[in-house]
Amino acid sequence: MRAPAAHRRRYPERMRLATWNVNSARTRIDRIIAFLDRQDIDVLAMQEIKCRPEQFPREAFATAGYELAVHGLDQWNGVAIASRVGLTDIAVSFPGQPAWVRTEDAPAVVEARALGATVGARAADRTDSPGATVPEADGPTSGSVRLWSLYVPNGRELDHPHYRYKLAWLAALRESAGQWLAEDAGQSLALAGDWNVAPQDEDVWDMSVFDGATHVSEPERAAFRAFEEEGLSEVTRGRVTNYTYWDYQKLRFPRNEGMRIDFVYGSAALASRVTGAAIDRDERIRPRARHHRSRLTSPKQSASGIRGRGSGRSVRASEPHALGRRVAHPGRPPDAAPPGRPR
C-alpha cells in the first residue's frame, strides 16, 4: 500500500477533484478510502453521508492524510469535503438557502445539503517528510478552489411541495453564485455534486419513461441552465458522456439504462484550468455501489480531475461522480418515484 496521501507529494501540480454521492459514509467508508488511494484524489466532495458530524468515520480519513469538513443533521442528506491540499473557510449553507418543513407540525429546517470550503490553498513549501511541519498559507493562493459540495433536493413529484422547494433552492444558489462572482470574478469556483436534474434528453436512457416526472421537467432544466447567466459553465459536458446513476432494479445497470444527474459548474477561472474529466463507472459494479463518481484534472495549480454521486461519483464522480444509486432507500419516506428515477 502506498504511503499516506498527505506524505506522498508536495503541493500538487495537478489537483484531482472528485464528487460522489456515497449514500452513507459509514456503510461505504472502506470503498471511499480505497477509491481515494486508487485514483489518487486530492479533494472529494461527498453527498448523502447520512450521519451527524460526530458519527462520521473521521479516523480513516485522517490515517489516509485528509482533512475533513462535515455537515449533517440526522440520518438523511448530509454533505462533506475531504482534502489533502488544505481546507479552510468552511460554510455550512449558502446565503438565502431555503428551509424545508418535513411535516406539518415540524419547524422549518435549513437542511444539510450544501457545504463550502476553500481547498488547494496550503503553503507551497510543504515537504514530503512525515515529520515535517506544514505551515498554513497566509491567504488563498493562485491554485486554490472555492468548492461547494451540493445535494440538490429531489423534488419528488411535479405537484409536491418538495418540487417547489427544489426550484427555490436552485434559484437561491444561483443568486449566491452570481454574488460571489460579482465580488471576485477571478476566483476558481466549483459547484459540484448531485444536482438531481437531467438537463438534456440525452441524460436519460428513455425520455418516455420520465413523462410527467421530475428531474427532466422544463422548470428544473431552466433552473439548471440559469447558472450559465451568472458566468458559470458545466465543465464535464463534452469530456464525458456516460450516465452517473442507475437504478438497482430491473437490470438498469447492465442495460445501461441510467441518468446523468451529477455535475460540476465552474467559473471561467476554474474552467480554464480543467484538463480532463471522467466518470468512474466501474465503481458501480463493486459491492453495495449506488451512485456515480466524477473527477476533474487540471494543470499546475489548477482544478483537476472530477469523478462522480454520494451516493457515489468522481466528477461527479457519482459513483464516486459517479456511482449508481437506487430508487428505494431503506427507511426513506414512501414517496412514489417513476421507474429508474432517484428519490
pLDDT string in tens for the chain (343-residue length): 444 544 444 455 689 999 999 999 999 999 999 999 999 999 999 999 999 999 999 999 999 999 999 999 988 999 999 999 999 999 999 999 999 998 888 899 999 999 999 999 854 333 333 332 233 333 344 589 999 999 999 999 999 999 999 999 999 999 999 999 999 999 999 999 999 999 999 999 999 999 999 999 999 999 999 999 999 999 999 999 899 999 888 899 999 999 999 999 999 999 999 999 999 988 767 665 445 556 665 533 333 344 333 333 333 333 343 322 222 222 223 233 444 556 5
Q: Is 21 within 8 Å of 52 (Cβ atoms)?
A: no
CA dihedral 171, 115, 237, 215 (to 10 degrees): -50
**Cis status of the peptide bond prior to 316, with omega within 30 of 0:** yes
For residue 300, CA distances in Å to 143, 157, 247, 276, 333 come to 8, 44, 38, 13, 45
Please give the model's pTM, rounded to 2 decimal places.
0.82
Dihedral angle computed from the Cα positions of residues 242, 247, 249 and 252, in that order, rounded to the nearest 10 degrees: -10
d(CA 115, CA 307): 18
Sign for the pseudo-dihedral over CA of 3, 7, 9, 14: positive
Domains of the chain, with CATH numbers?
5-321 (3.60.10.10)
C-alpha cell at 264: 460540476
